[in-house]
C-alpha cells in the first residue's frame, strides 16, 4: 500500500514547491532573485550544524535555519534593492556562489566539500521518540521504513499547506495589492502612498526565509548535505519551477515544482533520453506559453467564472 519510494518523491516535490514559492514571493514585487540556492544552503547548514554539533532538537534547527536565512536576506536585500531585472538576478546568483564557496572553505565548521553526514532524520527521529514511548508501527500494520516515509510526507504536506494558506491570504489583502501594484508600475505604486522600499525588502526577506526553511527541511529529509547540493544549477532549477509553472499566480510554481520533479521520475525507464524529453518540453512550452502553464485566465476558467466581456488572455 504505502511505497516509501513514492512517498520520497512526493516529499521532494513538497520541498521543491516551497522553493518555487520562495522565488515567486520575491517576484511578486517584480524582483527576480536567484539567491534561492544560497538561502537554501544557509538554512540547511544552520539546521544541520545546530542539530549535529549542539544536539538541538530538529524543530529548533528548522526555525533557526529560516531565521538566519531571513536575516542574511535582509542584509543582502538592503544594498541590492537598487538593482532591477537582470542586474539583481546576477547579483543574487553571485551571492549564492559566494555562500557556497564559504561553505567549501570553512572546513573546520562545515567539513568543506565532504559535506555533513549523519544529520538527524526527521522521520527516524520521530519514530525513535515514539518507540521509546512504547509505540510500534506494527500496530498500524506498517513497517518501520514505511512509517518513516509516511511521517515525513505528512509533516511536509502540512507545512506546505500552511505556507500556501499564508501566502494566498497575504496576496489577497492590502499587502498583496501593494506587492502587485509595485510589480506592475513601481512609480505609480509609490504615488498611491505605498512604501515601495519596505514592501520590496519584505518580499525579499520572506523569499529568503522560505528558501532557508525549505533547505533546513531538505537537510533533515536527506540526512546528508554538501556544497554540491547548492550550486547554481539548483538556483536555475528553482527558477524554472516558477517560469514553467507560471510566475503570475501562486499556483504556478506549485504546479511547476510538482510536474518538473515528477517527470524525470516518470521517464526513468527511458534512461538518458529523459533529459532530452525534459528539455524539449521546456522549449516547446516557452514558445507556446511564455507566461507558464498556469496563469490568471486559466485559473478563472477552472473556477468556472469567466470574465464578462473581453477575454483577458
Partner 1 sequence: MLLEIRKVSMIFGGLAALKDVDFRLEEGQILGLIGPNGAGKTTLFNAITSFLHPTAGEIFFNGEKISGLRTHEITNRGISRTFQNIRLFDQMTVEENVMVGRHTRSRAGVWNSVLRTGFQRKEEARIREKTDELLDLVGLQGHNQSPASSLPYGFQRRVEIARALAGEPRLILLDEPVAGMNDNETEEMARLIKKILGFGITILLIEHDMSMVMKVCDRLVVLNFGEKIAEGAPREIQNNPQVIEAYLGREEE
Q: Which long-range contacts (CB under 8 A, 24 or more apart) does 142-151 make?
A: 142/2, 145/4, 146/2, 146/4, 147/123, 148/4, 148/121, 148/123, 148/124, 149/2, 149/4, 149/7, 149/8, 149/11, 149/123, 150/2, 150/7, 150/123, 151/122, 151/123, 151/126, 151/127
- Closest distance between partner 1 and the C-beta of residue 187, in Å? 7
Counting contacts by CB under 8 A, is residue 192 touching partner 1?
yes
Smallest CA-to-CA distance from 184 within 76, 17, 80, 296 is with 296
Q: Quick check: 188 binds partner 1 (CB under 8 A)?
A: yes
**Shortest CB 13 distance to partner 1, Å:** 24
Lookup result for grid cell 547579483: 91
CA–CA dist 152, 148 (Å, integer):
6
Binding to partner 1 by residue 112, rule CB under 8 A? no
- Minimum distance between the CB of residue 138 and partner 1, rounded to whole angstroms? 41
Q: Which residues contact 279 (CB under 8 A, 6 or more apart)?
A: none
- Binding part of the chain for partner 1, among 49-57, 163-171, 209-217, 269-277 by CB under 8 A, reads 163-171
Asked whether 148 and 121 are in contact (CB, 8 A), the reply is yes
> Exposed, middle or buried, 299 (CB in 10 Å: 0-12/13-18/19+)?
middle
In the region spanning residues 288 to 307, those forming contacts with partner 1, defined by CB under 8 A, are 296, 307
For the CB of residue 249, give the shortest distance to partner 1 in the complex, in Å: 11
CB of 304 to partner 1, least distance (A): 15
Q: Does 284 bind partner 1 (CB under 8 A)?
A: no
Between 124 and 183, whose beta carbon lies closer to partner 1? 183
The angle subtended at Cα 87 by Cα 82 and Cα 91, nearest 5°, is 90
The window from 27-35, 99-107, 131-139, 175-183 that contacts partner 1 (CB under 8 A) reads 175-183
Rounded CA-CA distance 175/202 in Å is 10
- Which C-beta is closer to partner 1: that of 10 or that of 194? 194
Residue 68 CB, nearest distance to partner 1 (Å)?
20
How many Å apart are CA 281 and CA 285, to the nearest integer? 6
- Half-sphere exposure (Cβ direction) of 63: Cα atoms closer than 13 Å: 5
CB 239 within 8 A of CB 6: no
* Given 9, 159, 177, 274, the residue binding partner 1 (CB under 8 A): 177
Minimum distance from CB of 188 to partner 1 (Å)?
4
Q: Is 78 in the site for partner 1 (CB under 8 A)?
A: no
Q: Note whether 175 binds partner 1 by CB under 8 A.
A: yes
Work out which of 1, 5, 187, 283 binds partner 1, going by CB under 8 A: 187
Residue 176 sits in the site that holds partner 1 (CB under 8 A) = yes
183 vs 268: CA distance, rounded Å: 39
Tell me, by CB under 8 A, how many residues bind partner 1: 31
The region of 42-50, 110-118, 177-185, 262-270 touching partner 1 under the rule CB under 8 A is 177-185
The smaller minimum CB distance to partner 1, of residues 53 and 172, is found at 172
Return residues touching partner 1 (CB under 8 A). Answer: 166, 169-170, 172-178, 180-181, 184-185, 187-196, 202, 296, 307-310, 312
Amino acid at each position: 500500500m504505502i511505497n516509501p519510494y513514492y512517498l520520497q518523491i512526493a516529499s521532494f516535490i513538497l520541498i521543491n514547491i516551497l522553493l518555487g514559492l520562495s522565488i515567486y514571493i520575491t517576484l511578486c514585487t517584480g524582483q527576480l532573485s536567484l539567491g534561492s540556492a544560497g538561502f537554501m544552503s544557509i538554512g540547511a547548514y544552520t539546521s544541520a550544524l545546530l542539530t549535529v554539533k549542539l544536539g538541538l532538537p530538529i524543530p529548533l534547527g528548522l526555525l533557526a535555519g529560516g531565521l538566519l536565512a531571513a536575516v542574511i536576506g535582509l542584509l543582502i536585500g538592503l544594498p541590492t534593492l537598487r538593482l532591477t531585472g537582470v542586474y539583481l538576478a546576477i547579483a543574487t546568483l553571485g551571492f549564492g556562489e559566494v555562500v557556497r564557496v564559504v561553505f567549501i572553505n570553512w572546513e573546520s565548521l562545515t567539513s568543506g566539500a565532504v559535506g555533513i553526514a549523519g544529520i538527524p532524520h526527521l522521520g527516524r527521529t520521530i519514530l525513535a521518540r515514539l518507540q521509546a514511548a512504547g509505540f510500534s508501527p506494527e500496530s498500524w500494520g506498517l513497517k518501520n521504513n514505511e512509517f518513516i516515509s509516511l511521517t515525513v510526507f505528512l509533516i511536509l504536506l502540512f507545512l506546505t499547506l500552511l505556507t500556501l494558506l499564508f501566502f494566498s491570504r497575504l496576496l489577497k489583502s492590502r499587502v498583496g495589492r501593494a506587492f502587485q501594484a509595485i510589480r506592475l508600475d513601481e512609480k505609480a505604486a509609490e504615488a498611491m502612498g505605498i512604501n515601495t522600499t519596505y514592501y520590496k525588502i519584505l518580499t525579499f526577506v520572506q523569499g529568503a526565509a522560505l528558501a532557508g526553511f525549505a533547505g533546513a527541511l531538505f537537510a533533515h529529509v536527506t540526512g546528508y548535505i554538501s556544497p554540491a547540493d547548492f550550486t547554481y544549477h539548483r538556483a536555475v532549477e528553482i527558477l524554472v519551477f516558477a517560469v514553467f509553472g507560471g510566475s503570475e499566480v501562486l499556483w504556478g510554481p506549485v504546479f511547476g515544482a510538482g510536474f518538473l520533479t515528477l517527470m524525470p521520475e516518470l521517464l526513468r525507464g527511458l534512461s538518458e533520453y529523459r533529459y532530452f524529453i525534459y528539455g524539449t518540453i521546456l522549449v516547446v512550452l516557452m514558445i507556446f506559453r511564455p507566461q507558464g502553464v498556469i496563469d490568471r485566465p486559466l485559473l478563472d476558467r477552472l473556477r468556472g467564472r469567466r470574465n464578462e466581456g473581453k477575454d483577458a488572455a
